[in-house]
Chain A
Amino acid sequence: MDALLQFLFSGLTVGAVYALVALGFTIIYNASEVVNFAQGEFVMLGGMITVFAFEAGLPLPLAALLAILVTSAIGVALNKLAIEPARGAPVVSLIIITIGASIVIRGATQLVFDKQLHRFPSFSGDDPIRVLGATILPQSLWVIGGALAVFVGLWIFFTRTLTGKAVLATANNRVAAQLVGINTGWVMTLSFGLSAAIGAFAGVLVTPITLVGYDVGVALALKGFAAAMLGGMGNPKGALVGGLLLGCFEALTAGYLSSQYKEAVAFIVILAVLFVMPQGLFGRKSTERV
């Protein structure tokens, strides 16, 4: 019993990391139907900048804030310098641009900072919390709480605010959105800034657990993408549930079956879900108008 609980704690910790990355995907996808593969690099930047600002003497909260601001500026720059000039290009080309951007960001980080692994202290210490024989680190609670907070924030943003609805409208039909007075260029800029900020926030939360180095973004982006696909691309609820489920699949497989099959089982489950419902667990059925 305590083993099961331990597996679930592990799954929720890792799953919340995936969920945070998947939540970052949501915004840009909703604005442009582009899957931004530089999302993992935003997470990495959040961690790296915080580490170096912290080591330079800034207090941790200030270092984190700085990292989030700088990363959103990089997100905006990515949109202005790489995505906007390619306006009108097919979605696939835009996705390839984001892959290129992720390589550039990785290389630049390597030059500006270094190639070593880093971490900074956990927010509330490293003493594990004991629950019925299983243990969870306080930092895991921060990550899970952070994922929930971002989820609620995005949910309200997309359903209750005019700006959020403008983002959805832009994705749905850019021309129609422009006709009703939505500044679609601004919506895109906002989306990139916001999603970079969410990525960086995730990086700040997870670095004490996962450590950060210039190349940790790739694996995160892949897992986050899988989580988003599982939950339904573009849906914050889907991103959250998809991430947590993926984390739990992995942990339970490692715990009960074998750690060798951990990744394989998780992906088989995703494939199975997508086979039955291609839009993911919470995705809307899309219909192409001909």
Chain B
Amino acid sequence: MSKTTTALATFAALGVLAGAAQAEIRLGVSVSATGPAAFLGDPEAKTIEMLVEQLNEKGGINGEEIALTLYDDGGDPNKARTFATRLVEDDEVIAIIGGSTTGTTMSILSVAEDEGIPFISLAGAISIVDPVREFVFKTPHTDRMACEKIFTDMQEQGITKIGMISGTDGFGASMQAQCKEVAGEYGIEILADETYGPQDADMTPQLTRIRNTDGVQAVLNPGFGQGPAIVTRNVAQLGFEIPLYQSHGVASDAFIELAGAEAAEGLRLPGTALLIADKLAEDDAQYDVVTSYTEAYKAKYDQDVSTFGGYAHDAFALIVDAIGRAGDSEDPQAIRDALEATDGLVGTTGTYSFSPEDHLGLDLSAFRMLEIKDGDWLAVD
């Protein structure tokens, strides 16, 4: 008799366990938490871990907790592909967030497309969502949008002739190409087009060439890492009297510190609401999202948020929202369809509205033109 009871109890326990395992939403992440793109992937990984924890504490989505599988691909596209395959086949995730860089995104993207798993990329290149792929979405603005934002601002300032100095790293080179492509549409003429290596220590020769080019009214520097900080210092050293524009690649407080408040004074760049979280008006659409994210992140990691962590925040918010609306947390196809129907979701980067033709879902209003004034950011539009 007691044997039967034990057996029954065991069965019951197994049943409950299996039930619990069923009622889990398996989410996969592959970011570059270490390696050369660590400054992107590190805040991304931390952000998603924090958000999953927060959500599970609140009881998950429709009572189902999220089981997170997070891999660190170190910025290596081959590893990213392996992890994407593992996420789909072994971990049986229903959606993937990741691809800190365009390279790793491209690896994950093909796996997601083949397997029919919704994938939200955290990388910048426009080629990720253009042409539109059924299962691929992305949260960061494209570099083309950054160019358009900058050129719009230049137009307003009456600037038509510029000199460009771009980093030769992937980010700089891609944005340089995009800017050259759209410059004509804004009546901007690029008179000088210089480059620098990502770890160069001095850009005064290139800047001297730009300064000695007749008619240049502003300088534009697409790039990230140490290069833009050095360019900013060199521009100050050479005593330029024309405005300097940087890209969203340097949109962080650390940049002002590296370049020096004095050298960076008056510099303009397109950034997101996240950067001016403490200066947003309370009636700003993004106020709530941005403040709660920055405060939680600061409290948990004792670090300031970065734009990149914001991309991960938005990707996670989009997935959670889509799963909630899909009704079925097991079916990747239903989640994809819900994702594509996202309408007016407010993130830290901007307000997302996807459609079958648009898997980025942001417009230029997501970018805010910022100016560095007295060592701090100032929204100028």
* Residues of chain A at the chain B interface (Cβ within 8 Å): 3, 6-7, 9-11, 13-14, 17, 110, 115-119, 126, 128, 135, 137, 206, 209-211, 213, 215-216, 219, 251-252, 254-255, 259-260, 262-263
Please choose the segment from B45-53, B224-232, B323-331 that sits at the chain A interface, where 4 or more of its residues have CB less than 8 A away: B224-232
* CB of B351 closer than 8 Å to a CB of A: no
Closest to A263 in B: B197
Q: Which residue of the partner chain, among B201, B206, B236, contacts A14 with CB atoms under 8 Å?
A: B201
Give the complex CA separation of A9 and B197 in angstroms.
Answer: 19
Q: Are B237 and A13 interface neighbours, CB within 8 A?
A: no
A-B contact count (CB 8 A): 90
Chain B residues with Cβ under 8 A from A263's Cβ? 197
Q: Are B237 and A137 interface neighbours, CB within 8 A?
A: yes
Count of interface residues, chain B, beta-carbon cutoff 8 Å: 35
- Chain B nearest CB, measured from A202 CB (Å): 12
Give the complex CA separation of A118 and B230 in angstroms.
Answer: 12
Query: 11 A-B residue contacts at CB 8 Å?
Result: A10-B202, A10-B204, A117-B226, A126-B260, A209-B202, A210-B230, A216-B199, A254-B194, A255-B206, A259-B196, A260-B195
- Chain A nearest CB, measured from B75 CB (Å): 12
* CB of B154 closer than 8 Å to a CB of A: no
Q: Are A254 and B260 interface neighbours, CB within 8 A?
A: no
Closest to A8 in B: B205
Q: Which residue of the partner chain, among B34, B201, B205, B239, contacts A128 with CB atoms under 8 Å?
A: B239
Give the complex CA separation of A128 and B196 in angstroms.
Answer: 22
* CB of B296 closer than 8 Å to a CB of A: no
Closest to B204 in A: A10
Give the complex CA separation of A117 and B38 in angstroms.
Answer: 12
- Chain B nearest CB, measured from A146 CB (Å): 14
With A115-B38, A117-B254, A126-B263 in contact, do A210 and B196 touch (Cβ < 8 Å)?
no
Closest to B42 in A: A115
Closest to A121 in B: B260
* CB of B212 closer than 8 Å to a CB of A: yes
Give the complex CA separation of A179 and B231 in angstroms.
Answer: 56
Closest to A128 in B: B237
Which are the 7 A-B pairs with shortest beta-carbon distances? A255-B205, A254-B205, A210-B201, A219-B199, A10-B204, A211-B226, A115-B38
Question: In chain B between 22 and 70, which residues have their CB closer than 8 angstroms to a CB of chain A?
Answer: 34, 36, 38-39, 42
With A10-B204, A110-B34, A128-B239 in contact, do A259 and B229 touch (Cβ < 8 Å)?
no
Chain B residues with Cβ under 8 A from A7's Cβ? 204-205, 208
Q: Are A211 and B229 interface neighbours, CB within 8 A?
A: yes
* CB of B258 closer than 8 Å to a CB of A: yes
- Chain A nearest CB, measured from B16 CB (Å): 41
Chain A residues with Cβ under 8 A from B200's Cβ? 14
- Chain A nearest CB, measured from B197 CB (Å): 7
Chain B residues with Cβ under 8 A from A10's Cβ? 202, 204-205
Annotate B225-250 by CB proximity to A: 1 below 8 A, 0 otherwise.
11001100100111100000000000
Closest to B198 in A: A219
* CB of B209 closer than 8 Å to a CB of A: yes
Closest to B41 in A: A115
Apart from A137-B237, A210-B230, A255-B209: 16 A-B pairs, beta carbons within 8 A:
A3-B212, A10-B205, A11-B205, A14-B200, A115-B34, A115-B42, A119-B257, A126-B236, A126-B262, A206-B201, A209-B230, A210-B201, A211-B226, A219-B197, A251-B205, A259-B165
Give the complex CA separation of A116 and B226 in angstroms.
Answer: 10
Give the complex CA separation of A116 and B260 in angstroms.
Answer: 16
Q: Are B209 and A135 interface neighbours, CB within 8 A?
A: no
Chain B residues with Cβ under 8 A from A3's Cβ? 208-209, 212
Q: Are B237 and A119 interface neighbours, CB within 8 A?
A: no
Chain A residues with Cβ under 8 A from B42's Cβ? 115
Give the complex CA separation of A249 and B57 in angstroms.
Answer: 60
Chain B residues with Cβ under 8 A from A14's Cβ? 200-202
Closest to A111 in B: B34
Closest to A137 in B: B237
